[in-house]
A and B are shown apart, each in its own frame.
Chain A
């Protein structure tokens, strides 16, 4: 069975995946428990209709057909071809020597489980428990691929670590699992690009990402997702930030039929800070149900949420946010801003911010705006020679720019190009 598993997820298949990956007993148990939870848990009732996902008709494990080896600073093929994950399994960049010598680990999740069992077991599943939600349970049962990153104490990795995920097989589920640990005072930037080309039928992507930033560590996690438009993208991303640590999620969501993704940060100790910035585009038949969750669990923690969404041709964007400040978290600061841009009257933007503050000595601000492209703006730009399309495109780029300009140059250019294609 080199090419793939039969359709549907069963206990036997879970055992099979685990055996094939030569996993230790505890991981098999973990998968089986998660499978039980997945089977028992109903679909979430909020968000959007998920009843069309036919779990029995999906393929849960695919072995990669091609092995592609690239260097650490792998050149990328417009988010598509080469890189870390090809279909389910990860093919890893060889680590830059001096980083490897410092003890930096950048591996596929399965090989990290083999090579670094202790550090793996100590952290795996501690941020996103297997019973967190139906799709986290599914991932915990069927995971394959993903990245494992460990940065030792006081080590700073300058270049971003990059991974590319892609779905090539139709009716395939992709369940990569990523775990990033930055030890005390360490710094890292991890970037992932996701694509799926022209799948004729619906597919499911249910990833889990866990991040742990220990005392004084800094982690930036950047995602550019451009799934094809029949993919359900249901992802659980969560981070723990310890004393004076900083975690920042930067999430750009294009493509997919439905995305449900709410990167979260638990600010667990004094001085921790977090930032969640996102940009979403929804066109015809698409729903980006995305958001951000921040939990202030210690004093003097700070957070910032910036959400920008663009809707076109009846596309729908939903911002779903949670901001919680526990009692006793004095000196907490948070700023939330949600801006939606609607390109026509058919398109939709919803905002559901949940803010619960149980402490008085805090500063929490929330602002939300919905804007449309104004006739006066179009006329102004056209009076300088831009065609109507160019004018719309400039306004959209201007709207998205505060997020896009934070990306490395080539990613920024690529994202601008993708946005232009969408609004054409």
Chain B
């Protein structure tokens, strides 16, 4: 489904090289965890895959079901079925979460969605995520707590039904109970829709709830080691020092 080969990217303005050759293949029904120290380039990889203008690709390729992702704008990537859950979701004053869900959903389907059915679905997922209905009338991420923002990201994911889900530190900012709630919803969605998931995280904790099929360790713009769940456990115990020279 997603095939990244030798992907290299730098910042558009300063021309600072960040991704130095990433290779990664992800299939439907697979969960890949990416771990790595601060500043190793995890968020940059996520944003480059989504097409953030702040980064420019200097080499390599990224294909989604054979289609060259790097040539198309972020909205087209979204329409192909790629979803990025942000490490820091952006505030958009005045646009309510509820109306935004409808606007973004309508970009996917030709025929406009049945409002009653749509609202039912939103209500159900919101309930799964313990989001109060009144929160849907709240401006998108504006003044929301860290945990509220992350839950709103997952709500959008479930409603938009993407095929490739990239979650950048979805666990940061969540308390223990919220983490369980969010993980449960991700697992439900995964079971029912069998998407591909890339899960960027610093902590073993979320992997206790969502079990990845693969774990990759990133350092200085490269994936330096890949393995199974055991790798994450080892990392939790020993830290990065044994992996990074």
Contact = CB atoms under 8 A, between A and B. Distances in A.
Interface residues of B, number: 31
B52 interface: yes
Interface in A351-403: 374-377, 379-388, 390-391, 394-395, 397-402
B39 interface: no
Given A376-B90, A380-B89, A398 B139 contact: yes
B86 interface: yes
Nearest to B85: A383
Contacts of A387: 75, 107
B103 interface: yes
Contacts of B50: 379, 383
Contacts of B79: 385
Contact of A397 (B47, B77, B95): B95
A204 B83 CA distance: 52
Say whether chain B's binding surface is mostly helix, strand, loop, or mixed. Answer: mixed
Contacts of B156: 384
B54 A375 contact: yes
A142 B75 CA distance: 55
Contact of A377 (B83, B90, B104, B139): B90
A25 B50 CA distance: 75
- Which size class do A's interface residues fall under? 20 to 34
Contact of A395 (B52, B78, B95, B108): B95
Contacts of A376: 90
A385 B160 contact: yes
B74 interface: yes
Given A375-B53, A390-B107, A398-B139, A382 B93 contact: no
A379 B95 contact: no
B212 to A, nearest CB: 23
Given A383-B78, A390-B103, A397 B94 contact: yes
A386 B93 contact: no
Interface string B78-113: 110001101001111111000010011001100000
A370 B75 CA distance: 27
B104 A384 contact: yes
Interface of A: 374-377, 379-388, 390-391, 394-395, 397-402
- The 5 A-B residue pairs with the shortest CB-CB distance, nearest first, are A398-B94, A385-B107, A398-B95, A380-B90, A385-B78
Given A377-B92, A379-B52, A398-B140, 10 more contacts: A375-B53, A380-B92, A382-B73, A384-B160, A385-B75, A385-B107, A385-B160, A387-B75, A394-B103, A399-B93
18 contacts: A377-B92, A379-B53, A380-B90, A381-B92, A382-B78, A384-B156, A384-B160, A385-B79, A386-B75, A386-B103, A387-B75, A394-B92, A395-B92, A398-B139, A399-B94, A401-B94, A401-B95, A402-B94
